[in-house]
Chain A
Amino acid sequence: MKIINKDYCKGCQICVEVCPKKVYSEGTEISDMGYLVPLVTNYDKCIDHNQIKKGKKPICELCILSCPDQAIIDDSYGD
Chain B
Amino acid sequence: MENFQIYREDRWPHMFCPGCGIGTVMSCFQRAFLNKGLDLDRTAFVSGIGCSSRLAGYVYADSLHTTHGRALAFATGLKLAQKDLEVVVFTGDGDLGSIGGNHFIQACRRNMDLFVVCVNNNNYGMTGGQVSSTTWHDYLTTTTPKGNPEYPFDLSRVAATSGANYVARYTTAHPKQLVRVIEEGLGKKGLRFIEAWAACPTYYGRYNKMASPVEHTRWLKENSIHIEQMKVDGKTAEDDIDLQVTGKVTIGVLRDADRMSYLEAIQR
Is B4's CB under 8 angstroms from A70's CB?
Answer: yes
A71 vs chain B, min Cβ distance (A): 8
Cβ of B152 < 8 Å from any Cβ of A?
A: no
**Chain A 1-27 against B: per-residue CB contact (8 Å), 1 yes, 0 no?**
000000110111110111000000000
A-B contact count (CB 8 A): 80
Which of B20, B27, B218 contacts A64 (CB under 8 A)?
A: B27
Interface contact A66-B214, CB-CB below 8 Å: no
In the bound complex, do residue A12 and residue B19 qualify as a contact, i.e. CB atoms below 8 Å apart? yes
What residues make up the interface of A, taking CB atoms closer than 8 Å to B? 7-8, 10-14, 16-18, 33, 35, 61-62, 64-70, 72-74, 77, 79
User: Does B7 touch A at the CB level, under 8 Å?
Assistant: yes
Contacts of A8 in B (CB 8 A): 12-13
Q: How far is the CB of A64 from chain B (nearest CB, A)?
A: 7
- Complex Cα–Cα for A11 and B13 (A): 12
**Chain A, residue nearest B19 (CB):** A12
Size range of the chain B interface in the assembly:
20 to 34
B214 touches A65 (CB 8 A): no
* Alpha-carbon distance between A65 and B29 when the two chains are bound, in angstroms: 10
A10 touches B13 (CB 8 A): yes
B1 near A79 with CB under 8 A, answer yes
A68 and B23 contacting across the interface, CB-CB below 8 Å: yes
B185 within 8 A of A: no
Cα distance A62–B31 in the bound complex, in angstroms: 12
B28 beta carbon closer than 8 Å to chain A = yes
